[in-house]
Chains A and B, each alone.
Chain A
Amino acid sequence: MNSILKRRGRLVLVAAFVAVAATASGLSVKGASAAKRSNITLTIDVFGDFGYHDLYKQYEASHPGITIKEDTEDYAPHHTALAQHLATGAGADDIEAIEVGFIAQYAAQPQYFVNLKSYGAKNLKKLYPAWKWNQAVARNNSVIGLGTDVGSLGICYRKDLFKQAGLPTKPAALAKLWPTWSKFLAVGKRYQKHAPAGTKFIDSGSNLYNAIIGQANPAYYSKSGKLIVKSNAKVKAAWGLTMKAFKLHEDLGLSAFSNDWNTGFKKGTFATVTCPAWMMGYIQGQAPDASGKWNIADVPGGGGNWGGSFLTVTKQSQHQAEAAALVKFLTSPKSETYVFKHTGNLSSEIPVLKSKAVQKFRNPYFSNAPVGKIFANSALKLKPQILGPHQGDIQTAASNAIQRVEQHKQSPAASWTQFLKDAATAAGG
């Protein structure tokens, strides 16, 4: 017994050490790259798939002496690690990708980033829609990042389910049927009347809400950076429409990115999904057998945005000029066109969106829909939204509030009150 106790004690100790060491290494220095002047290694830290690998090879071939190394992580850990690396002053890569949900927060800390204006970024301003450009401009007017992709919106829908419910199945006809979100819900009502057994019109209330709020400007923050969740009628309207979908029993109430949601794609239990450009890849991954059953139509209410990123150069970089040059190459119209064709991430640059390569692009999985045209036009129509530092947290609070209603845990009114409280807490610090 005694020896077991001892052994167990030692085990616990070892476990404790491992845990502490793991925490410590998270904060430790990654090891500054000791590159020689003539032979430079540039590091770039991204999340998910930015589709850059072929471009790196091209760049290395045309720039002898430069080697590019990419680090990839998931969305959340990437941004968490970035905060740690910036705060501790060590460990950040030369180039760091930042998603739109975090960009406002980092734009408020320009001391960590190289002002790309000093490397000729000013001339690139005309490529971008003003809103995309301004999202990465700090209060001191320094440009901390250049835009990569944009998550413009469409509605992905199941043709076969629509047909069974007696609805039109052509994208053009549907776009005419739902110019606004309340018309969209009216179509949903028609769908539910003759819906195939066990299916609903909408997958998840929070996905619907995200799309609607993505079109609102201002949404959570006013121009002066004040939190206006409570006073903004547009937020309340988005909430109201979501609650209406729930009351009309059009909402399946799944939690986005959950197992049940993923299985829902495979089994075809919902007829529509609000679809940012990057969602196309997700659907194809979840339901490879459903090729040809999905189609894409224009989103109600004009353009909208959900996602999109920026490339920044950190002050920690030992090769800031070289890194800035690489960022300019990766975000050039030529590179962004290449990425769209091969990975599907839609460029945020106006000339690319208007180019033939994008406008003519069709996707066979989505019944050969002209996805390039749909998403590019949605991006061009997009109205800019003012972002605040805690955008992401408020969005999470909203998703949770909607789910509490969907799961019958709270009344819509009580859930709304708690959402307002959570949003205020999130923005408070």
Chain B
Amino acid sequence: MSAVSGTRDAGGATPARLRTRRKVLRRLDTKLSPYLYIAPFFFIFGVFGLFPLGYTAYVSLTDRNLLAPVSHFIGLHNYALLIHDSYFWNAVENTFGIWFLSTVPQLLLALVIAHVLNTQLHARTFFRMAVLLPQVTSIVAVALIFTQLFGHDYGFFNYFLGKFGVHHVYWEAGRFSSWVAISTMVMWRWTGYNALIYLAAMQSIPEELYEAAAVDGARRFRQFIHVTVPMLRPTILFTVIISTIGGLQLFTEAFLFSSRSSGATGGAGRQYQTIVMYLYEKFLGSTQFKFGYAAAIAWCLVLLIALFGLVNWLLVSRIRSAET
């Protein structure tokens, strides 16, 4: 600041008033304009991010129904109801179950794939592109095709299992089996994506570390465990957090897995109804249009994600850091 004004000394002819004005303007320019530059983002964020959040919070404190002309402020009543709503807790359980079944194998598999892609392969670029392919497919198409593959009577997986004498599995009807089916869709779509992120991180690990490990007598597997994984810690943390957020908001795969007649209940026994599906059922997926109650579910979901994200962060932080 002072350096700038020092080089541009306008001379004694300029009235002092003008100088101070210019000074103020300059000051404003440096202090204020950065905020102006980022203002569009915050404006849009305010309109599309912050306002809906706040408004949803407000609606969750009312008994608002989409079709009813008036609504009343009812305090935390919706939350009190939600805590005793066994279908809500069922949905929470399903969501965490599916998250666990899809995320843990997915990230482990992604690590392995990234490791393989990081070696001297023929047609490396081709394989690197190939793992990303599922990502560009439409999520709806994926869900519809997998639902057919997991069909009871004529599905491919049952046909395949039948070759080994296994009885037809009613994938959609069972609790665990439906979780497996939905997790498979999630994994199919996201494993390659995470693998590429890991791959990018692996390539920034200095070669010297591996050389040093090799000198110390570490074989490839030990190098992977003791060099690669600790160096990837921030990346792993990132993917875990992102998949937590995505996994707890799971909707489309599970929603399309159910037949049309069972609505948004996630199977006849609600065996795979996720939290967002339950929210949808209360808000739009039935003739109830309970806006207030659905808003309360949405806020509970936000809290759950924050809480669970924190737990995951603490867990992953226990991977021995590269720095220590």
Residues of A within 8 A of B (CB): 1, 4-5, 8, 12, 16-17, 20-21, 23-24, 80, 83-84, 86-87, 101-102, 105, 109, 111, 206, 255-261, 263-264, 267, 269, 389-393, 396, 399-404, 407-410, 426, 429
Contact = CB atoms under 8 A, between A and B. Distances in A.
Contacts of B67: 83, 86-87, 105, 109
A401 B69 contact: no
Contact of A87 (B66, B153, B170, B197): B66
A393 B148 contact: no
B262 A400 contact: yes
Contacts of B268: 255, 399-404, 407, 409
Given A259-B151, A260-B151, A400-B268, A4 B200 contact: yes
B90 interface: no
Interface in B264-291: 265, 267-269, 271, 284, 286-290
A111 B70 CA distance: 13
Contacts of B284: 80, 83
Per CB-CB distance, the 5 closest pairs between chain A and chain B, nearest first, are: A258-B259, A403-B268, A407-B173, A400-B268, A255-B259
Interface string B225-254: 000000000110010001000000000000
A20 B200 contact: no
Most B C-beta atoms less than 10 A away, residue of A86, A264, A401, A429: A429
25 contacts: A4-B201, A8-B242, A12-B242, A20-B48, A23-B52, A80-B284, A255-B268, A257-B261, A258-B259, A260-B153, A391-B287, A393-B263, A396-B262, A396-B263, A400-B262, A400-B267, A400-B268, A404-B268, A407-B173, A407-B268, A407-B269, A409-B173, A409-B269, A426-B288, A429-B288
A392 B152 contact: no
B48 A17 contact: yes
A396 B288 CA distance: 13
A24 B197 CA distance: 32
Contacts of A258: 259-261
Contact of A389 (B201, B271, B287): B287
A261 B204 CA distance: 53
A86 B265 CA distance: 25
A399 B260 CA distance: 11
Contacts of A12: 242
Contacts of A267: 154
A84 B67 CA distance: 8
Contact of A390 (B49, B173, B288): B288
Interface in B87-118: none
Contacts of B44: 17
B265 A396 contact: yes
Contacts, number: 119
A86 B68 CA distance: 10
B101 to A, nearest CB: 20
A402 B261 CA distance: 12
Given A21-B48, A392-B286, A409-B269, A260 B65 contact: no
Contact of B287 (A111, A206, A393): A393
B147 interface: yes
A143 B52 CA distance: 37
B48 A390 contact: no
B287 A102 contact: yes
Nearest to B69: A111
A258 B287 CA distance: 22
Nearest to B203: A1
Nearest to A104: B287
A256 B262 CA distance: 9
Contacts of B261: 206, 255-258, 396, 399
A4 B288 contact: no
A404 B259 contact: no
A136 B172 CA distance: 38
B269 A410 contact: yes
Given A16-B49, A257-B261, A260-B152, A400 B238 contact: no
A1 B200 contact: yes
Contact of A20 (B52, B201, B263, B265): B52
A18 B268 CA distance: 32
Contact of A396 (B66, B271, B286): B286
